[in-house]
Structure 1
Amino acid sequence: MADLDNLYRQIIMEHYKNPRNKGLSEQPGYVTAHIKNPSCGDDITVQTLFADGTVKDCRHDGHGCSICCASASVMTETVIGKTVAEALLLADNYLKLVSNKEYDASVDLEEAAVFAGVNQFPARVKCASIAWQAFVRTIEEQK
């Protein structure tokens, strides 16, 4: 179990130090959502480009703790290329997982599963959630 915890920490730190899809686009068509966590200072903006019912691109920018920033990076990699329905299912299951709520374990969260242990630290749940919540807002706003 210690080896698995260490692997999860390595994945989180890799995404924190080398975030994927970081930086907002100036191209038209992106739907943008912003969430700030006033209790800890995490501040994330997510942009999503939808085309033909799929997540064509997803970007993030902002600042926060390692969990917040790594979660945003992993989220973008997880949802790009998925249909909107698939991406919404992934986001819903991820948010339930990190909040210690019942979720569908048959849904493959890919690298996002490394945040499962966050639910043991209530103060960190919001850190792991805000990028995903912002992503869900972009889906809601594009409808």
Structure 2
Amino acid sequence: MPDLEDLYREIILDHYRNPRNRGELDTPPAVRAEGFNPLCGDEVIIYVRLANGVVDDIKFGGQGCSISQASSSMMSAIVKGRTTDELHRLNRAFKSMMSIEPDPDDPAPVNGNGADIKLGDLEALKGVVKFPVRIKCATLSWHTLIQAVEEAQTTG
């Protein structure tokens, strides 16, 4: 399926070159969390502001490869305006797509393999599973987001 792979490549490059939600939010009221991948040097900073259990706003910063930065952009676009339960379901569905065993303590489990959840542009990253070392690049922003949300819920 070369045409589909080309489309996915273009989606990844678009998010890398024209990132959505890049920037910073004032802390507080937003929470800031940092993630780092020592294997390749990717660094992601997530700023998230929750309001009544909803991702009111999200921004990201950092530096790294096209996969980590595009994944951060895609992740920020799909979770904005979602409830924390939806966010956790998206996280589990994305990790399932990335062939990572989801956290059994996740408060919002996905039934089956998460195929019932639409991941939008994030589906362009499914080819990353062919390169296991790059999976950490794709999931770094999700790990960092969950850390930020957990902090926001304990301090808010």
TM-score (normalised: structure 1): 0.94
CA distance in 2, matches of 1:137, 1:95: 15
CA distance in 1, matches of 2:139, 2:114: 17
CA distance in 2, matches of 1:84, 1:123: 29
* Segments of 4+ moved more than 2 angstroms: 99-103
Deviations 1:106-128 (A, max 9, x none): 11111111111111110100000
Residue 136 (structure 1) aligned with residue 136 (structure 2):
no
Are the counterparts in 1 of residues 21 and 58 from structure 2 also a CA contact under 8 Å? yes
Task: Find the counterpart in structure 1 of residue 78 from structure 2.
Answer: 78
Task: Find the counterpart in structure 1 of residue 31 from structure 2.
Answer: 31
Matched residue type, 1:103: N
Matched residue type, 1:107: I
Deviations 1:12-43 (A, max 9, x none): 00000011111112253111111111110101
Matched residue type, 1:141: E
Q: Are residues 36 and 100 of structure 1, via their aligned partners in 2, closer, same or farther at CA, if it must alter by over 3 Å?
A: closer
Identity %: 38
What is the aligned counterpart of 2:132 among 106, 122, 136? 122
Aligned residues: 143
**Any gaps of 5 or more consecutive residues in structure 2?**
102-111
Are the counterparts in 2 of residues 100 and 119 from structure 1 also a CA contact under 8 Å? no
CA distance in 2, matches of 1:90, 1:98: 12
Task: Find the counterpart in structure 2 of residue 91 from structure 1.
Answer: 91
TM-score (normalised: structure 2): 0.87
Q: For 1:33-112, list aligned pairs within 5 A.
A: 33-99=33-99, 101=101, 103-112=113-122
CA distance in 2, matches of 1:89, 1:139: 14
How much does 1:100 deviate? 5.2
Q: RMSD in angstroms over aligned alpha carbons?
A: 1.3
